[in-house]
Amino acid sequence: APASYAFALPEVDTDGLARSHLFYQSRQRRPMLDRASGVHMWDVTGKRYLDGSSGAMVSNIGHSDPVVLNAMRAQMEKSTFGYRLHFENAPAENLARFVADLCPTGLDRVFFVSGGSEAVESALKLARQYALAVGQASRFKVISRYPSYHGATFGALAVTGTASMTAPFAPMMHEMPKIPAPTCYLDRDSLTMEERGRRYADMLEAEILRQGPETVLAFIMEPVGGASTGALVAPDSYYPRVREICDAYGVLLIYDEVMTGAGRTGRFLAAEHWGITPDLIALSKGFAAGYAPLGALVAPDRLVEPVMEHGGFIHGYTYAGNPLACAAGLAVLQETVGRDLPGNAARIGDQLKARLDGLKDRFPFIGDVRGKGLLLAVELVADRETMTPLPPEKMAAARLVDLAYERGLIIYWRRTRGGYLGDHIMVCPPLILTEDQIDEIMDPLTDALVALSAELGV
């Protein structure tokens, strides 16, 4: 700090985190981060980690990418903030054009936000305002799936006390209808996978009819599940059937590509695997790959224009379209596309998935290995045949994450299948991972599984 400051910031006491002023969701604390480069991270003691989950599936292009750092430095020299009511800014314009070019035809309007929850909120609110603008005020229900995760902030508006801001979106905090996520791998019936896929999609139609189609605004889904389902991929038949049902009932189809977008599943958007054009797309995470808090809602003219004609979109965030964040996002996406990182995710993802699958021979408590590209998950079970979950008190996936962490490998975990039904870990390294670096995941992970096996007594 400059000498003129009347105070000096103390050195961060890394041993004294118990007395930290910071708090997060839980008491758990980790070592202090020092630096990161490529697929590696170092804590302040010098210990090196392989970032096997890209943080929370964020750092798609790896850490400290020099091209992105230079783009950010150059933008910082010019301006770091210009409020959208006062100035347009070139990084936001350029990034919006780049994103529109990367998205399916027609999805060419881009609304910037600072994260995934904001991108989802923006999709829900644009959908609602569109319905009002075209005389469909009765449509307000948003069907989603369980389990699923779409963000943390949905209640913010419910406690906003300005009628002009809240009235268009009433009723607030309504419990929205849910249908089961297509967990076809768990079903023990005589149907083929494709038949199961259609069966799960048909549950959407049944729910729309149960609710009354004239009340249903949208259906929101993660095209490949994130941490809530453990990289759940539906059978191919699911995707076109869902699109067909939404079209038949005038329900907007929202793809939450916050985790799957920006190349993680092997294509720029996961939607591309099935040739689906959703009505709205939410993006974040790999979109700016951790270099800046940034996300986006992508929408077609046909939804945006009626809203504009009826007074504009009653929604926005102070930091939205921030020039520094957008310069970072543009450089990240240029790196992503220019280096064909989605292609690398597909190629390395296939190899990594095959290696993870091979672990089943050695560890009977690995029930399923699934995912697409470098969005991969390993589900841990008591019995692979019946997919019976491990006892919840074993905390098997959480233990595995800790055992891997001790061995310098960062992975991610969540309990699956709603409430408590099972455990999985997410293995989602940066898309720049090379073939040689696969061993840097497999060796510590195998070692951690051996230790877990001893602890579980299986």
What residues line the site for ligand PLP (CB under 6 A)? 56, 115-117, 120, 149-152, 222, 226, 256, 258-259, 284
Q: Would you say 370 or 394 has its CB closer to ligand PLP?
A: 370
Considering the complex, what minimum distance in angstroms separates the CB of residue 411 from ligand PLP? 15
Q: Would you say 50 or 296 has its CB closer to ligand PLP?
A: 296
Number of continuous H segments (helices) and E segments (strands) in the chain:
12, 16
Q: Would you say 152 or 203 has its CB closer to ligand PLP?
A: 152
Considering the complex, what minimum distance in angstroms separates the CB of residue 300 from ligand PLP? 21
CA angle 258, 435, 433 (to 5 degrees): 30
Length of the chain: 458
Q: Would you say 112 or 365 has its CB closer to ligand PLP?
A: 112
| Dihedral sign from CA coordinates of 212, 215, 218, 220 | negative
CA distances from 120 to 295, 333, 427 (A): 9, 20, 24
| Dihedral sign from CA coordinates of 29, 428, 103, 152 | negative
- Are 196 and 187 within 8 A, CB to CB? yes
Considering the complex, what minimum distance in angstroms separates the CB of residue 349 from ligand PLP? 18
Parallel, antiparallel, or unpaired: how do β-strands 412-416 and 422-427 relate? antiparallel
Q: Would you say 95 or 227 has its CB closer to ligand PLP?
A: 227
Reading the block at residue 224, the tokens are 């490949």
Strand partners for 255: 221, 281
Considering the complex, what minimum distance in angstroms separates the CB of residue 145 from ligand PLP? 11
Q: Would you say 196 or 414 has its CB closer to ligand PLP?
A: 414
Q: In whole angstroms, what is the distance from residue 149 CA to residue 137 CA?
A: 26
Q: Would you say 117 or 265 has its CB closer to ligand PLP?
A: 117
Q: Would you say 390 or 410 has its CB closer to ligand PLP?
A: 410
* Whether the bond into 364 is cis, omega within 30 of 0: no
Amino acid at 366: I
Q: Would you say 261 or 444 has its CB closer to ligand PLP?
A: 261
Which residues, at least 6 apart from 79, have a Cβ–Cβ distance to it below 8 Å?
A: 89, 323, 324
Considering the complex, what minimum distance in angstroms separates the CB of residue 285 from ligand PLP? 6
Considering the complex, what minimum distance in angstroms separates the CB of residue 453 from ligand PLP? 30
Considering the complex, what minimum distance in angstroms separates the CB of residue 297 from ligand PLP? 12
Amino acid at 199: R
Parallel, antiparallel, or unpaired: how do β-strands 422-427 and 375-383 relate? antiparallel
Considering the complex, what minimum distance in angstroms separates the CB of residue 181 from ligand PLP? 12
Q: Which residue is nearest to ligand PLP (CB)?
A: 116
CA angle 208, 214, 217 (to 5 degrees): 70
Q: In whole angstroms, what is the distance from residue 236 CA to residue 353 CA?
A: 19
Q: Which of 129, 138, 176, 178 is nearest to 155 (CA)?
A: 176
Place of tokens 């095209």: 223
Considering the complex, what minimum distance in angstroms separates the CB of residue 27 from ligand PLP? 20
Q: In whole angstroms, what is the distance from residue 366 CA to residue 207 CA?
A: 34
- Are 184 and 193 within 8 A, CB to CB? yes
Q: Would you say 120 or 271 has its CB closer to ligand PLP?
A: 120
Considering the complex, what minimum distance in angstroms separates the CB of residue 446 from ligand PLP? 27
Q: In whole angstroms, what is the distance from residue 426 CA to residue 62 CA?
A: 17
